[in-house]
Amino acid sequence: MINRQAQEKRLKQLNDLLVSPEIINDHKRCAEVSKEYKKLERLMRQYRRLDKTQKEIAEAKEILAGNDEEMKEVAHHEIKNLEKRLESIESEIDEMLNPQYEEYQKNCIVEIRAGTGGDEASLFAAELFRMYTKYGEKKRLKYEVLSSHSSDIGGFKEIIFLVSGKNAYGLLHFEKGIHRVQRVPLTEAGGRIHTSAVTVVVLPEIEEAQFEIKQDDLKIDTFRAGGHGGQNVNKVSSAVRITHLPSGMVVSCQDERSQHKNRAKAMKILRARLAASQHQKQQAEIDKDRRQQVGSGERSEKIRTYNYPQNRVTDHRIGLTLYKLDKIREGDLDEIIGGLKENERNRRAGN
């Protein structure tokens, strides 16, 4: 835990700064101080909730020590509820103390690609996309497809989508890596279990004002979209391909009928990828580079295995195995993500 007294002192200093003439006239500095003040004020608000709940628990325990049996029963029930609230507040405070807290509050871009396994991998990529959208519904997150490339059998060779809402990146950043599936393919007549893999990349969304890309560094090409889409697909060059010349990074979008919309989506993806790459170079200990996130795509680098015959899911990072794949496919990821969050907290605390 941080030195709470020092943080309260800092909050007072920031409050004084916000009304000082030198800060008021310096818009950039004022914005920086205001941002720090709001963040610290939210933390102190949580500490006040913590104090209040601890006091209420202590008062309820005093009732338990009394002789009124009816009141003792009420107090016992109240303590259970208060302890749950206390645990939730402590968890929120712990998250706010995470140096990456502000980044975790951002929207995120999720990229799912079929890896080893051919058609079966593309089908599983589609299932992962469905799983994440179901999970997003439970967490009141919204999603928007930015780019997709379908396979011939109805799966996805690649799908990239934006997830927006409170703590979107904080929840989904755990999903980056290799996801392995073991099941009997529909096309397998002999009933042999097939193993395939899908790569998942999760990047925080970067606003245009946060990361400037020079127009001179971009080569923008337009072309006719391929695949399904009606007459517009063959007659109008609505698809956009953007090449970032200094890095050689290429992004293409063709899902929208509007060239303008495809360009905007492609820029959103490019900005997130470039920011992550730059961040990785600046802070080598924080893995933001896309290739490092997913490794080489080999099955041995898996983070999670989905075994259909046994209805089993295993997250190899924390050694968690659950026999409820059917529910997890419907977006029931709380137990897995909760375990990963706990593991992250323990690592941060040095446990």
The DSSP bridge pattern shows strands 177-183 and 302-307 to be parallel
| CATH 3.30.70.1660 domain residues, the chain | 104-351
The answer to whether the CB of 131 falls within 8 A of the CB of 216 is no
Q: Both tokens of residue 236?
A: 């109008």
Predicted pLDDT of residue 283: 55
Tell me which residue has tokens 């904080």. Answer: 170
Order of strands across the sheet that contains 249-253? 218-223, 239-244, 249-253
Residue at 251: amino acid letter: V
Classify domain 104-351 by CATH number.
3.30.70.1660
Classify domain 4-97 by CATH number.
1.20.58
DSSP H helices in 97-228: 101-104, 119-138, 168-172
Predicted pLDDT of residue 229: 39
Task: Write the pLDDT tens digit of every residue in 171-214.
Answer: 999 999 999 999 988 666 667 888 999 999 999 988 776 677 88
Low-confidence ranges of the chain (pLDDT < 70): 1-2, 186-190, 209-210, 226-236, 282-301, 351
Q: Cα(18)–Cα(258) distance, rounded to whole angstroms? A: 45
Q: How many CB atoms lie within 10 A of CB 148?
A: 19
Burial of 319 (0-12, 13-18, 19+ CB in 10 A): exposed
| CATH 1.20.58 domain residues, the chain | 4-97
Q: What is the pTM of this model?
A: 0.70
